[in-house]
Amino acid sequence: MYRSHTCGELRIEDKNQEVTLAGWVQKIRDKGFMAWVDLRDRYGITQLIFDEERTPKEMMERATELGREFVIQVKGKVIERESKNPNLPTGDIEILVSELQILNTSELPPFTIEDDTDGGEDIRMKYRYLDIRRNAVKNKLMFRHKVGMQVRNYLSGQGFIEVETPYLIKSTPEGARDFVVPSRMNEGQFYALPQSPQTFKQLLMVGGMDKYFQIVKCFRDEDLRADRQPEFTQIDCEMAFVEQEDILNIFEGLTTHLLKEIKGVKVSEFPRMTYAEAMKKYGNDKPDIRFGMEFGELNELAKNKGFNVFDQQELVVGIAVPGAASYTRKEIDKLIEWVKRPQIAANGLVWVKYNEDGSLKSSVDKFYSEEDLKSWATKTGANPGDLILVMAGDANKTRTQLSALRMHLANDLGLRKADEFAPLWVVDFPLLEWDEESNRFHAMHHPFTSPKPEDMELLKTKPGEVRANAYDLVLNGNEIGGGSIRIHDKATQAEMFNYLGFTPEEAKAQFGFLMDAFEYGAPPHGGIAFGFDRLVAILGGHETIRDYIAFPKNNSGRDVMIDAPAKIDEAQLNELHLKLKL
């Protein structure tokens, strides 16, 4: 036993107790005849006092050898502090040290182990084990554990069984790129790491497991964007004998439970919105509905009034920015520049100030009467004091651009509050989406998603309009989960592969086992998967996931701490029947 107590638990009630603590030296104040050390561990900080009148001389001397991040063990008596620290749970007491043992020394850390560190991202990643000592990271990892436990206990309580599915599976051409694993024992063959346990969870439903879940690592070998990791964690769920409504209900339950247990927030409503409506109202299939700024379509009101710029466009659409009528010309110009950035690539913005006094002033006063502008205000839901911003162009592109602007403004205006939670179901996703590059339809969700029965006949005529039994759970503008009711009969599944451009032979080679399974009494089933990294980050009040992952990879997919990936031996390659081709 290296300690009788942790550094977070002693209180004034423990006064006069003889205790043993162990931990890291956080801070030293040395006045020669007296020294104070902040001793830190996972549980907190306790102040140690070395006092030449009361601490043995040898220990006083040893204390002078201490440096930041040294690991020490001390024995001593709990005494009342002269100057208490009300910000620290242990702030009423300190330990009068009688024995000091240096368990390990430390070099000067490459960055300060403080809440506000001086270390940049790169150096903190290289020394991630030091970064984890910081509350900022440590607390996020502990938070993640707490969320994981709540998820497991809730789902288990609802009768879900956590089943581990295999990591060494088979590569499939559909979807993102697989990571593969060469097999030594099966010459010239490869396993693939799962992008998700999709087919396995469906087979578990065929197997009668009824309610399955798993918190599981998944892998995608995609070019990394900011905040995307090659390995990520999913809460993967599947249920048999259910319709969409049953799944939405169960996972509203899970979300409500998490918000209550983790955040102390009570959420009573899970509004539902079709994909079409979300795109029309917010230009986005994962709208943040915590604030308004819904789109007002202005085609009828703004076209053919002499402003040529609008006349030729497919869509004229605006939003009302609350309280922004007072923006200066300079502030508005900044917004115009923002939307012209290559990431957004809009042509520009038309603005209308709906002044507090009810008057209207716009960048297009030449073409529109005050009455015209008033009708825009009505359509965008603007109130006196608001600024109306209008974009025009190709419908899909313009919606996406205006959505980006809407989120940008909401962030700026502080409308996206970390402690406010507004979940939303987006339903009726399209089954297929056209891919320009491959010149064919792809499954929007995945090839196992069932079309809505009433849209089935459109499959042959207007495949792009077929809706799927697919749904996303959106929280505060982030997709935290998505799923669908699956196809469970062989004929429909074969037809779907056909639409997706598989030959029957390809379909059989890749997914024959699933279609075979559908011949032996497959029940109706469906499910959902949550991005666990993102869910945890959002519950934690953040939108970047990296700090919620203990050992994340950088944007080149490298672990800079252990320096992986790395070269392997020629002998190892030979065993795997491989040669490099550089």
Please report, in range form, the residues annotated as the binding site: 174, 220-222, 229, 445, 479, 486, 531-534
Give Cα separations from 25 to 35, 52, 63 (angstroms): 12, 20, 11
Q: How far is the CB of 100 from its own copies (least distance, A)?
A: 15
Give Cα separations from 517 to 234, 426, 490, 520 (angstroms): 25, 31, 9, 6
Give dist(CA 254, CA 247) in Å, integer.
11
Q: How far is the CB of 442 from its own copies (least distance, A)?
A: 18
Dihedral over Cα of 321, 325, 328, 333: its sign: positive
Task: Closer to its own copies by CB, 192 or 389: give it.
Answer: 192
Task: Closer to its own copies by CB, 352 or 536: give it.
Answer: 536
Q: How far is the CB of 371 from its own copies (least distance, A)?
A: 53
Task: Closer to its own copies by CB, 10 or 302: give it.
Answer: 10
Indicate the residue type of 492.
T
Q: Which residues carry a binding-site annotation for L-aspartate?
A: 174, 220, 445, 486
Residue 201's nearest CA partner among 553, 526, 559 is 526
**Which tokens go with 385?**
């004091």
Give dist(CA 579, CA 582) in Å, integer.
9
Q: How far is the CB of 562 from its own copies (least distance, A)?
A: 5
Q: How far is the CB of 266 from its own copies (least distance, A)?
A: 25
Task: Closer to its own copies by CB, 348 or 523: give it.
Answer: 523
Q: How far is the CB of 193 from its own copies (least distance, A)?
A: 7
Task: Closer to its own copies by CB, 379 or 488: give it.
Answer: 488
Q: How far is the CB of 222 from its own copies (least distance, A)?
A: 10
Give Cα separations from 560 to 121, 123, 126, 525 (angstroms): 11, 9, 5, 42
Q: What is the DSSP letter of 115?
A: S
Task: Closer to its own copies by CB, 107 or 436: give it.
Answer: 107
Give Cα separations from 27 to 44, 69, 103, 441, 503 (angstroms): 13, 8, 17, 61, 68
Task: Closer to its own copies by CB, 178 or 372: give it.
Answer: 178
Indicate the residue type of 70.
F
**Which tokens go with 399?**
């919606």
Task: Closer to its own copies by CB, 133 or 286: give it.
Answer: 133
Cα dihedral 457, 460, 464, 467, rounded to 10, equals 20
Q: How far is the CB of 69 from its own copies (least distance, A)?
A: 4
- CB atoms < 10 A from the CB of 152, how many? 16
Task: Closer to its own copies by CB, 182 or 501: give it.
Answer: 182
Q: Is 138 helix (H, G, I), strand (E, B) or coil?
A: helix
Dihedral over Cα of 8, 9, 13, 16: its sign: negative
- CB atoms < 10 A from the CB of 509, how many? 13
- Contact yes or no for 23/39 (Cβ under 8 A): yes
Q: How far is C-alpha 560 from the geometric centre of its chain's CA atoms?
A: 22
List own/partner pairs for 171-174 with CB under 8 A and 24 or more apart: 172/510, 172/511, 173/506, 173/510, 174/443, 174/446, 174/447, 174/500, 174/510
Task: Closer to its own copies by CB, 163 or 336: give it.
Answer: 163
Strands 71-80 and 18-30: antiparallel
Give dist(CA 48, CA 35) in Å, integer.
8
Dump strand ranges (E) for 281-327. Answer: 296-297, 315-321
- Ramachandran angles phi, psi of 246, nearest 5°: -65, -40
Strands 440-443 and 432-435: antiparallel
Indicate the residue type of 554.
N
Task: Closer to its own copies by CB, 344 or 578: give it.
Answer: 578
- Contact yes or no for 447/199 (Cβ under 8 A): no
Q: Which residues carry a binding-site annotation for ATP?
A: 220-222, 229, 479, 531-534
Q: How far is the CB of 454 from its own copies (least distance, A)?
A: 19
Q: How far is the CB of 395 from its own copies (least distance, A)?
A: 36
Task: Closer to its own copies by CB, 185 or 329: give it.
Answer: 185
Q: What is the DSSP letter of 293?
A: -
Q: How far is the CB of 502 from its own copies (least distance, A)?
A: 14
Q: How far is the CB of 269 from its own copies (least distance, A)?
A: 22
Q: How far is the CB of 471 from its own copies (least distance, A)?
A: 17
Indicate the residue type of 248.
L
Task: Closer to its own copies by CB, 197 or 430: give it.
Answer: 197
Q: Residue 459 class from Cβ within 10 Å (0-12 exposed, 13-18 middle, 19+ buried)?
A: middle
